[in-house]
Copies of this chain bind each other. A is one copy, B any other.
Amino acid sequence: MHAELIAQRVPGTELAAVYDVVGDAAAVVAEKFGARSADSPAAVIEADDVDAVAICSSTDTHIDLLVEVAAARKPAFVEKPLSLDLTEVDRGIAAASEAQIPVQVGFNRRFDAAHRGVRDRVAAGDVGDVHLVRISSRDPGPPPISYIEVSGGIFCDMTIHDFDMARFVTGSEAVEVYATGAVRVDPAIGAAGDLDTAAVVVTHASGAITIIDNSRRAVYGYDQRLEAFGSAGMACSENPPAATARYWDFAGAHGTPLPHFFLERYTPSYLAEWEAFAATVAGAPSPVSLADGRAPLVMGLAAWKSVREGRPVAVSEIG
């Protein structure tokens, strides 16, 4: 999807070269979108016709690749999470800072029109001082256990988006995280040491309180709602229906299902994300900085510590 958006739908960008650990995958994508297939990351990063690099590989390779891109002094896009290891994250930040390259982290929900609309209302003062933020974020179904095992767990893989939204909407850093959760969807998730159902309370420096609930399986579809409540009003983003057809019978109105997963719901946000990156490459400030990539990871680690220790955890305890 990323390749298609870059090659065909983002104005002014072209897909030059593709590398994938599965060589055939790169070749297929390259062929389809008129790019060449590279046989190593370096063959992409160092190529003269590559102006910027998108790092969409597995999480544990992000920082090594970012350091390589920094060495080549090219702008970088990096998928979330940056890493599951804060020391690694800080190594990447140091490299990017020294090389003075612009970096954008892949928190695509910032580019969703509805969520952004909430942030814009807050930024415009329409909500007043933010007192409460309420986020429900529920997937239609869990990923494979093999993915779960290397994902960093629900708080670093799934809630991390909500932590990003909490900072984005309030404009305020987290100071404390309380988290709890359960295994309700699939015992295999519990056997892998993870949770599939969670509730999190975040206290922000501004005094705002964010409450988040997560589930790995909402049978009715991809449920993504966000609400900012404050002294002057409330702004919220509601789930878009897959289609606006309704049916009425004796039992009332019946709507259509939600879009089933992130591809349907968030494709426009991915497109906007790449357009923003094109602007970043052209010199605009990054809309999602490495600091914006680091903070939600700290919150995710604090959430795990909170669950393990059964108490609220200060973000300052993590780093």
Stretch from A45-53, A71-79, A84-92, A208-216 that touches the partner: A208-216
Given the contacts A8-B8, A242-B113, A246-B236, A229 and B310 also touching, CB distance less than 8 Å = no
Q: Which residues on B sit within 8 Å (CB–CB) of A178? A: 178, 180, 201, 312
User: Would A234 and B257 count as touching, CB distance under 8 A?
Assistant: no
From 207 to 245 in chain A, residues with beta carbon under 8 angstroms from any chain B beta carbon are 207, 209, 211, 213, 215, 217-221, 223, 229, 231-245
Contact A235-B246, Cβ < 8 Å, known A178-B201, A215-B132: yes
Say whether A252 contacts B244, CB under 8 Å: no
Knowing A201-B201, A219-B232, A245-B121, the reply to whether A254 touches B252 (Cβ < 8 A) is yes
30 A/B residue pairs, CB under 8 Å, sorted by A: A113-B242, A113-B243, A115-B245, A117-B243, A121-B247, A126-B247, A131-B182, A132-B197, A178-B201, A178-B312, A182-B207, A184-B231, A185-B231, A199-B201, A211-B213, A213-B229, A215-B229, A219-B250, A220-B252, A221-B250, A223-B234, A232-B249, A234-B247, A234-B248, A236-B248, A237-B244, A240-B244, A241-B252, A242-B252, A253-B255
Q: Which residues of A contact B (CB under 8 A)?
A: 8, 113-118, 121, 126, 129, 131-132, 134, 136, 138, 178, 180-182, 184-185, 197, 199, 201, 203, 207, 209, 211, 213, 215, 217-221, 223, 229, 231-258, 310-312
